[in-house]
Amino acid sequence: MKLNCTMLCAFIALACAGESVDVKKTDTFRRIKSHLDRVSAIDTHDHLKPFPILQGQVLTERGVGMTLFSLWSSSYYTWINPLTPWPESGRFDDWWPKAKNDFANGRATSFYRYQLPAFKDLYGVDFETLTDEQARDLNRRIFANYQSEAWIYEVVTDRANIELMFNDPYWDRLTRTNYYPFGVAVLNVTRLLRGFHPSEYADEVDSPFRYARDEKLPTATLDDYLAVIEHWLKAGKAAGAVSLKTTTAYERTLQFDRVPRERAARVYGRPKSKLSDAEVKEFEDFILWHLTELSAQLELPLTIHTGHARIQGSNPMNLLNLIEAHPRTKFILLHGGYPWVGETGAIMQRHGENVWIDSVWLPTISYAMARRAYQEWLEVMPSNHLMWGADAHHVEGLYGATEFTRRCLAEALAEKVERGELRESDALHIGQQVMRDNALALFPQLKDRLWKHKGKLKPAAK
């Protein structure tokens, strides 16, 4: 059949129209998103400080508390955009006239947009069109909400529909306590890698040597130090911790080489001023390999920050030798390795039996990249090895990141359904897996902590 010019133009127009369809306006998306909203989620990565020391509190005319400035300053927005400092006067009206112009260059960034659902859904405010009077009232309401710990519970467990939340206590990495009853403890092992000498812990907050003194454990030799580490991990597991976590990617390369014990022993006990950079790395490498072995022995999966940290060296491909050498260790690759999401998928395809991807933070970094990653990963890996997390420091950010994730995942799945690449029933199943079921399968001890079937969770008397 020959096509005349009119027919050809019609075909082109139809093709272009098909490409421009916004899947979020389809019934398929709405059904999938509604399903994900109803899933009581298991958030596998967050940073919510105890209520008395919440991040972002400032001095105001009404006392110390949370403000509109607090929500932006303790969000990820400031990673790429400047924000006017809170004034010494503590007056909102001294801050807002300048601060309202701070968003002009960041409106398209995901680090800005992930907080917008919280303002809209929790406060009924469109931050994009905020008037000065609305901003002043919003600031007042934020301050009022944070006068009670009940606000934390309302947003996390009710509005965001999160049943359990893994909480990384970066403010006190050696703590084994859980402040929130919906919290799940994570053992942050990052600082343990620097344990070649006590001088590495000037403030002693994260010092394994302080822990050893408290527990009356010796630290004279490397073997002593390794025993301290194992003691702390076992105590943490007994207290309810479910995984190990390292954020070493912010400080150095993720290339960890196998180092003989005798070489690490020669480093132990010497201050950094007496060591070369190569010797420091060798000690860190040895400890990380040791922790990886303990991870398998204690059945505590090892969660590793990958990508978007110290960019040089944070590609998850650097971990391949570690992963290949420890088939019994369960590895969780945080953030999908952004920007190396394809590489992370390749690792999963080759080592899928003992590797999981956690998409935590990825929609907040780049919504478009996350949508693409979800689709690519599901094409190269089993759907039961993918999880998510909000990775926030206050509940508005937590709500926004959770909504962003549900929306992004629903969009990725709906596109596959609309293209005929996935049945809708399977898309619903995958969404349920990512938001909840996969975490329960990887961490079966969580099933004893589920509470939503018992009723509303209320703050305990402090």
Same domain, yes or no, for 136 and 180?
no
Residue 394 has pLDDT above 60, yes or no: yes
Classify residue 300: in a domain, yes or no: yes
What is the extent of the structural domain holding 204? 163-453
Residue 379 has pLDDT above 60, yes or no: yes
Model pLDDT for residues 243-298, shown as the tens digit of each residue = 999 999 999 999 999 999 999 999 999 999 999 999 999 999 999 999 999 999 99
Residue 116 has pLDDT above 80, yes or no: yes
Same domain, yes or no, for 135 and 173?
no
Same domain, yes or no, for 115 and 220?
no
Looking only at the bridges linking them, the beta strands covering 63-65 and 58-60 are antiparallel
Last residue of a domain, one of 145, 171, 198: 145
Same domain, yes or no, for 373 and 342?
yes
Same domain, yes or no, for 324 and 372?
yes
pTM of the model: 0.94
Same domain, yes or no, for 331 and 202?
yes
Same domain, yes or no, for 106 and 168?
no
Classify residue 113: in a domain, yes or no: yes
Same domain, yes or no, for 206 and 113?
no
Classify residue 1: in a domain, yes or no: no
Same domain, yes or no, for 98 and 192?
no
Classify residue 157: in a domain, yes or no: no
Residue 2 has pLDDT above 50, yes or no: no
Model pLDDT for residues 150-197, shown as the tens digit of each residue = 999 999 999 999 999 999 999 999 988 789 999 999 999 999 999 999
Q: What is the pLDDT of the chain when averaged over all its residues? A: 94
Residue 19 has pLDDT above 60, yes or no: no
Same domain, yes or no, for 118 and 219?
no
What integer pLDDT is reported at residue 449 of this predicted model? 96
Same domain, yes or no, for 201 and 131?
no
Classify residue 44: in a domain, yes or no: no
Residue 118 has pLDDT above 90, yes or no: yes
CATH code of 263's domain: 3.20.20.140
Same domain, yes or no, for 246 and 347?
yes
- Domains held by the chain: number: 2
What integer pLDDT is reported at residue 176 of this predicted model? 80
Classify residue 364: in a domain, yes or no: yes
Q: Which band of pLDDT confidence, cut at 50, 70 and 90, is reported for residue 12?
A: very low
